[in-house]
Each structure stands twice: as C-alpha cells, then as structure tokens.
Amino acid sequence: MPIVLIHKASELRAQTRVALEAELGRSLQDDDEVSIMTFIPHAAPTGAAHTEAGHNLEDHFKRIDQKLQGTPEKEVEEALDEALRNVRPGYRECE
C-alpha cells in the first residue's frame, strides 16, 4: 500500500527543503506543495500478459491518432509542447 506525504514548502524543515531543491534543480516557492510517495513496485508482466499490455497500448495510441485526424501537425506539436511545459519545469523544446 502506498504511503503519500504532502507538505507546503514553507512547512518543511530547512535541511529537507535544501535536499529537495537540490534534487529538483530549482528553488521551492513557499506556496509550492511537495508530494512524496513510497510504494513497493511489482514485477513487469511477462508472456501473454506482456503481449496483451502491448496490444492495449497500441489500441490506445490508435484511438488518440483517430481523434487527431485532420489536425495540422504543427498544432499537435504545439499542444504537446505546452503540456510538457506545464508538467516539467524547465522543459525546453528541441530545435
């Protein structure tokens, strides 16, 4: 069962905050929330389960591609870049 801790950066002990900032590669803002989760990983599927997972993933990508039919490639790339910028601080697009 996963264990999840969520803290405001302003509530962290000084040494904890410094360690997290070092790991993240950026300073934390006082109103940032920090989540820490621990869990026991499971083994990757093998055999038929692995094959089925692959087929399910391919089907998922096909459904996404169908939704994007007729959308200009540039618009799709811009949407993907925007999504990456929103979830990955410091993301830079490759030119």
Q: Is the pLDDT of residue 64 over 80?
A: yes
What residues does each domain of the chain span?
1-39, 46-95
d(CA 59, CA 55): 6
- Sequence-distant (≥ 6) Cβ neighbours of residue 66 within 8 angstroms: none
> Average per-residue pLDDT in the chain?
90
The share of the chain scoring above pLDDT 90, in percent, equals 66
Are the C-beta atoms of residues 34 and 20 closer than 8 Å to each other? Answer: yes
Higher pLDDT, 81 or 57: 57
Whether the pLDDT of residue 91 is over 80: the answer is: no
| 62/89: higher pLDDT | 62
The whole-number pLDDT of residue 94 equals 64
- The H or E element that residue 22 is part of is helix 14-24
